[in-house]
Amino acid sequence: MSTGLLSPEKENGRWPKVLIGDALDLINGRAFKPIEWSKSGRPIIRIQNLNNPNAVFNYYPGELPEKFLVKEGDLLFAWSGTPGTSFGAHIWKGGEAWLNQHIFKVEFDKKQFNKRFLQLAINQNLAEYIRAAHGAAGLAHITKGRFESSELPVPPLTEQREIVGEVEKQFTRLEAGVAALQRVQANLKRYRASVLKAACEGNLVSTEVVHWKSASLGDVLTRIEAGKSFRCEERPPEANEIGVVKVSAVTWGTYNELESKTCLDSERVENRYLVSPGDFLFSRANTIELVGACVIAQKVTLRVMLSDKILRFHFSEQVLPSWVLYWLRSDFGRSEIERLATGNQDSMRNIGQTRIREIAIKLPPIVEQKRIVAEVERRLSVVDQLEAVVTANFQRAARLRQSILHTSFNGA
């Protein structure tokens, strides 16, 4: 009998199938309120804790019903998350913890399913779940009913173990390639940081650092504009609608207008809040690592307004906006932003306009700013191209992983 990647069909027919809702018990997590978080107690498993070993835990010190308790080896399904990251089935590798909302604890008959086989069988439907998902851009939410109506193949346990073994062999090869891509990605990140550091120290091009002035951002800012909080629908606007920019629109290095919501309050729409090409946008609120993220908007095709968390800077003629951009992204700028940001939780910091103006900055003569910025952009353009290749290969690896799963279970 041939199984696994070579032939998913039995000699005398296909494997029987069952509905997830009939074969599995799904226990949804508890909705913990931020005021319940603590520094001690059992950790709370949030979506980001499922696949990111560096993600910070929140804790709950009290006792809860047994159904919310997760133990090492439990099978979990994140039914809300970003496709390609935490979304999907996971086997918990930590100690005892509390189950948060947006995650199912999956209980099953161990005489019918091998746990790892069950995880793989669930995840081979991820592409289908994502197509059926709803939610904001980049975020998938699978309803319990949609999940329960999915089918699972049920080969004998011996065949399940054989399939797991073959899939693991293929995954090991794939993960070696992914690890190599991650090393390249880390090296590119370090090189990007070194370029910015050299630029801000005057070591990237020939320059007279002695002529650089010490200043604060307030010395070169002529105006800071803030939008307002609007009632919105969680989707990007259509061509004939007005959107409101989200914090995530400026988080990852380039302005992403699709990271926006649609304004439903037409009476509050004001053209003066609309984002235009060349606007310098700054996030005043986010995590400690991302507060102060900034971009210069390039591609603008949608009518999107500033929000109360995204500020627009206007500068005097003594500074290039691009020089400020690279300074704020450098270690020098980041240390200033993190020093001046307020808030008790690393998960949410804020930097107000008064403190923004206090950020220390060095000002080369404008001619030298132009030379330095040109060299920074030349070098970073090469990094951008290489990062695009790495990203494309990560996506290819994700498709290959799904292909392996599909080949293993297709026709079963």
SS3 of residue 403 by DSSP: helix
CA distance linking residue 74 with residue 380, whole number of Å: 44
- Of 120, 143, 154, 142, residue with least CA distance to 23: 154
Give the predicted TM-score (pTM) of the model.
0.77
Report how far Cα 371 is from the mean position of its chain's Cα atoms.
Answer: 34
CA distance linking residue 280 with residue 294, whole number of Å: 7
Instruction: Please identify which residue in the block is written with the tokens 């990251």.
Output: 85
Contacts of 246 (CB under 8 A, 6+ apart): 259, 260, 261, 307
CA distance linking residue 326 with residue 206, whole number of Å: 18
SS3 of residue 31 by DSSP: coil
Rounded CA Rg of the chain = 25
Map out the domains of the chain with their CATH numbers.
Answer: 17-153 (3.90.220.20), 156-206+364-412 (1.10.287), 213-363 (3.90.220.20)
CA distance linking residue 34 with residue 28, whole number of Å: 18
CA distance linking residue 150 with residue 125, whole number of Å: 8
CA distance linking residue 47 with residue 395, whole number of Å: 21
Q: Please report, in tens digits, the pLDDT of each residue of the chain (412 residues total).
A: 333 343 444 545 578 899 999 999 999 999 999 899 998 999 999 988 988 878 889 999 999 999 999 999 999 999 887 666 678 899 999 999 999 999 999 999 999 999 999 999 998 887 777 676 655 445 677 888 888 998 899 999 999 999 999 999 999 999 999 999 999 999 999 999 999 999 999 999 988 888 999 999 999 999 999 998 888 888 889 988 999 999 999 998 999 999 999 988 777 788 999 999 999 999 999 999 999 999 999 999 999 999 999 999 999 999 999 999 999 999 999 999 999 999 876 668 999 999 999 999 999 999 999 999 999 999 999 999 999 999 999 999 988 988 898 888 864 4
How many helical (H) and strand (E) elements, i.e. helices and strands, does the chain have? 10, 25
CA distance linking residue 403 with residue 380, whole number of Å: 34
| Residue 353 CB-half CA count within 13 A | 13
Instruction: Please identify which residue in the block is written with the tokens 């007005």.
Output: 242
Helix axes 366-409, 115-123, angle to 10 degrees: 120
Type of residue found at 333: G
Type of residue found at 59: Y
Q: How many CB atoms lie within 10 A of CB 355?
A: 18
41: left (phi over 0), alpha (psi -120 to 50) or beta: left
- Of 203, 243, 219, residue with least CA distance to 330: 203
Q: In Å, what is the CA distance from 405 to each residue of 76, 95, 166, 224?
A: 18, 28, 10, 51
